[in-house]
Amino acid sequence: MKGLPRLLAVGLLSALLVLVLGVSLVQAKDPARSGSVVVGPGQSIQAAVNHAKPGSAIIVRGIHHETVVVHKDGIRLVGKGAVIKPPKKPSRLCPPSGFCVIGTQNSSTGKVSRYVKNVTITGFTIRNFKNFGIVALGARNATFIKNRAFNNDEYGITAFSSIGTRMISNTTSGSTEEAGLYVGDSPHANATVVGNNSYGNEFGLLVRNATHGRIAGNNFHNNCLGTVFVADAPGPAGAFTMVGNQLRNNTHVCPAHEEIPPVSGVGVAILGGHDVSITGNTITGNVAHGPSIAKGGVVVARGLGGTPPKNNSVIGNTILHNKPDIFWDKSGSGNRFIGNRCNTSVPGNLCGM
């Protein structure tokens, strides 16, 4: 996706952060003594992060125009009515983003050589960045909880090449070029996506080339596509459980751009994914209002590069008032459609199974 190539270069600079960011922290407590610091309006969040010891809590109040880069373990950023907006000068260490949680990459292989661990970001409103509201690259057990990411053009809250990411009770909207929530390029993602509200994006949730995770109790609505699992080079996507979610009225129209074809009117799609379990969800009113690569409440089909879907289960869902309720292109093997409450399908016998 568009932001990733630029982001990969950022990881190589993470070891230089403390040397480069020499900003001052005004009237803040010493984290070495108290274990926490309060950052108010006009003060620098980045300075607090630079001075903090691993495990410190940083409490932020007010409006801040900056990009905050975190490369220390255990940092906990807590917003108390805090709003993050783009700075006048973009950060040299991260593409235009509110928060960047970045590990270290091997310069020759591009793989993560050191994960930044146990970072928490909670309670912030992040607005109007061109790339990401919050992005993790090379993070382990990062937790993003009760944040609001609005009108960040490409992604609201994202995790690349990360393990154990938790996205809980966030609201994302206005990422019209990509996804409100994203988990990608993570062969051992073990991600938890629970209780989020994602609307007005191209994709409510995009899982791309990532495996293992749980998606539960979310509301994906009024996007072009609610949730999509995409498996193509460089890796597979699958082994996710999706239960108890609302996927409704994803009728917006998104035209083709870059490698993404036009899309509209899809609740949840498995494009080349494997071992995805979709159970006990309510999927309603997903009707295309324009051209789309696929249409339907539930779509199971080949990936964009031709990868067939395998061993996916669509069981015990309410799938109504979509056009059609279930669509399967008959590719792949081991895909099951059992006990769903639905009326229309392509081919025509899937609701009766």
121-171 pLDDT tens trace: 999 999 999 999 999 999 999 999 999 999 999 999 999 999 999 999 999
Question: Is 52 part of any domain?
Answer: no
| Domain annotation covers residue 48 | no
Residue 148 inside a domain? The answer is yes
Give the pLDDT score at 338. Answer: 97
Assess if residue 352 is contained within a domain. no
Does 54 sit behind a cis peptide bond, omega within 30 degrees of 0 on the bond before it? no
Contact yes or no for 37/48 (Cβ under 8 A): yes
The structural domain count of the chain equals 1
Q: Considering the chain, what is the average pLDDT of its residues?
A: 90
Model confidence at 19, pLDDT cuts 50, 70, 90, reads very low
Query: How confident is the model over 253-264, as a mean pLDDT?
Result: 91
Structure confidence at residue 32 (pLDDT): 38
Range of the domain at 81: 68-86+97-346
Q: How confident is the model at residue 25 (pLDDT cuts 50, 70, 90)?
A: very low
Q: Is the pLDDT of residue 30 over 60?
A: no
Backbone angles phi, psi at 19, to 5 degrees: -70, -35
With respect to residue 24, please indicate whether it lies within any of the assigned structural domains: no
Query: Which H, E and C letters describe the chain, residue by residue?
Result: CCHHHHHHHHHCCHHHHHHHCCCCCCCCCCHHHHCEEEECCCCCHHHHHHHCCCCCEEEEEEEEECCEEECCCCCEEEEEEEEEECCCCCCCCCCCEEEEEECEECCCCCCEEECEECCEEEEEEEECCCCEEEEEECEECCEEECCEEECCCCEEEEEECCECCEEECCEEECCCCCEEEEEEEECCCCEEEECCEEECCCEEEEEEEEEEEEEECCEEECCCEEEEEECECCECCEEEEEECCEEECCCCCECCECCECCECCEEEEEECCECCEEECCEEECCCCCCCCCCCEEEEEECCCCCCCCECCEEECCEEECCCCCEEECCCCECCEEECCECCCEECCCCCCC
How high is the pLDDT of residue 232?
A: 81
Q: What is the CATH number of the domain that holds 111?
A: 2.160.20.10
Q: Is residue 238 in some structural domain?
A: yes
pLDDT at 312: 98
Residue 42 falls within a domain, yes or no? Answer: no
76, part of any domain: yes
